[in-house]
């Protein structure tokens, strides 16, 4: 089955795609409407973002299962302290009381993004907010890399998975976005459920080797996936067998061999999260299809200098 949205992520002769990570986390608050709008406005129509379900079953765009203390401020303007409440225990209305416009510079996480604009009054968007934005004709070329975050507490609850996927698909279909989104996850069970409920949509497999899991300060949702230890160059085969259309490895895990193998298998290779100049250069040399970055402008600079395009017609 050929999926038009997979082709939107595929590179080619003199062509490497740029994907805005959580909007453009290096420039603007992550997973915010203003961040998505920024990426779209700089000719980066491919958006990666994270979806979690609220207590009232609303898909909202936020990375962690718990409100992330270094980015959530309460109504008094203070960053959260103590145990972080779970997204699934709060209604969308309760979640939108918090302001996600700034980073706590006292935290290790906050210090990672020294150029991020600091704003006030920024709210966790719902998935629907974003779908309404990309529905606008000027963003008709936008495609969504929609990461479904599987709740580690519910990893073995099939009924929760079913409900989560159903709620997300309902919204995508309501806005006729199923041909403009890829369903993306670390959780292979969840992607199996996606393929079951939405055979008309492509799956995107996120992977990270345990040896290279140095992405600090983030509650990566529990990975329900094969044991990759010692199998670095076989991962594309496993992804293909599982029914994947895209393979999204952590950038440190890719090699000339596994990129070539993935391409042979027809997989589109989108690497994350590539922020440092040297890493961007290495990914360009390896000829990946797409580069997911917190600094999409930085990736464009490298591509532009090399005369490489990031869309089919410039």
Residues at the interface with a copy of itself (CB under 8 A):
26-28, 34, 38, 41-44, 77, 102-103, 105-106, 110, 113-120, 277, 295-298, 300-301, 303-305, 314
Beta bridge partners of 53: 59
Minimal distance, residue 116 CB to a copy of itself, in Å: 6
Of the pair 106, 179, the CB lying nearest a copy of itself is at 106
Q: Provide long-range contacts, Cβ within 8 A and 24+ apart, for 41-45.
A: 42/296, 42/297, 42/300, 43/300, 43/310, 43/311, 44/18, 44/19, 44/20, 44/296, 44/300, 44/310, 45/8, 45/139, 45/141, 45/142, 45/143, 45/311
User: Tokens 């225990």 sit at which residue?
Assistant: 89
Minimal distance, residue 122 CB to a copy of itself, in Å: 10
CB of 78 closer than 8 Å to CB of 107: no
Q: Other C-beta atoms within 10 Å of 2: how many?
A: 7
Minimal distance, residue 16 CB to a copy of itself, in Å: 13
Minimal distance, residue 218 CB to a copy of itself, in Å: 19
Of the pair 139, 167, the CB lying nearest a copy of itself is at 139
Cα 67 to Cα 62: distance, rounded to the nearest angstrom: 8
Minimal distance, residue 121 CB to a copy of itself, in Å: 9
End-to-end alpha-carbon separation of the chain, Å? 28
DSSP state, residue 208: -
Of the pair 19, 261, the CB lying nearest a copy of itself is at 19
Q: Is the dihedral of CA 99, 103, 105, 107 positive or negative?
A: positive
Minimal distance, residue 302 CB to a copy of itself, in Å: 8
Minimal distance, residue 280 CB to a copy of itself, in Å: 10
Of the pair 34, 133, the CB lying nearest a copy of itself is at 34
Of the pair 48, 147, the CB lying nearest a copy of itself is at 48
**287, two tokens:** 């000829």
* Chain-centre distance for alpha carbon 170: 20
Of the pair 82, 114, the CB lying nearest a copy of itself is at 114
* Of the candidates 257, 263, 259, the residue with the CA atom closest to the CA atom of residue 249: 259
Of the pair 179, 304, the CB lying nearest a copy of itself is at 304
Cα 48 to Cα 78: distance, rounded to the nearest angstrom: 28
Minimal distance, residue 74 CB to a copy of itself, in Å: 15
Of the pair 103, 270, the CB lying nearest a copy of itself is at 103
Write the burial class of residue 258 (CB in 10 Å: 0-12 exposed, 13-18 middle, 19+ buried).
buried
Write the burial class of residue 163 (CB in 10 Å: 0-12 exposed, 13-18 middle, 19+ buried).
middle
Of the pair 118, 312, the CB lying nearest a copy of itself is at 118
Minimal distance, residue 157 CB to a copy of itself, in Å: 40
């Amino acid at each position: 089955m050929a999926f038009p949205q997979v082709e939107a992520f595929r590179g080619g002769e003199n062509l490497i795609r740029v994907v805005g990570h959580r909007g453009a986390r290096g420039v603007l608050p992550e997973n915010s409407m203003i961040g998505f709008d920024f990426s779209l406005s700089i000719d980066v129509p491919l958006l990666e973002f994270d979806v979690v379900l609220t207590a009232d079953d609303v898909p909202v765009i936020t990375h962690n299962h718990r409100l992330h203390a270094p980015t959530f401020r309460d109504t008094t303007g203070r960053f959260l302290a103590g145990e972080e409440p779970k997204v699934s225990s709060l209604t969308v209305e309760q979640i939108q009381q918090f302001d996600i416009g700034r980073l706590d510079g006292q935290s290790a996480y906050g210090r990672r993004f020294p150029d991020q604009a600091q704003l006030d009054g920024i709210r966790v968007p719902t998935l629907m907010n974003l779908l309404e934005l990309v529905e606008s004709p000027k963003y008709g070329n936008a495609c969504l890399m929609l990461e479904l975050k599987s709740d580690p507490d519910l990893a073995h609850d099939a009924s929760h998975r079913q409900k989560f996927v159903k709620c997300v698909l309902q919204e995508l279909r309501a806005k006729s976005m199923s041909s403009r989104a890829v369903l993306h996850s670390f959780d292979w069970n969840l992607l199996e459920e996606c393929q079951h409920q939405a055979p008309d949509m492509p799956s995107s497999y996120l992977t990270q080797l345990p040896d290279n899991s140095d992405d600090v300060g983030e509650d990566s949702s529990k990975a329900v996936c094969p044991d990759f230890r010692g199998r670095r160059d076989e991962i594309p085969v496993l992804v293909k067998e599982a029914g994947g259309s895209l393979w999204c490895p952590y950038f440190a895990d890719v090699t000339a061999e596994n990129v070539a193998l993935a391409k042979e298998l027809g997989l589109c290779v989108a690497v994350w999260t590539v922020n440092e100049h040297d890493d961007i250069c290495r990914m360009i040399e390896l000829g990946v299809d797409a580069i997911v970055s917190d600094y999409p402008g930085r990736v464009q600079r490298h591509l532009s200098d090399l005369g490489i395009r990031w869309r089919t017609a410039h």
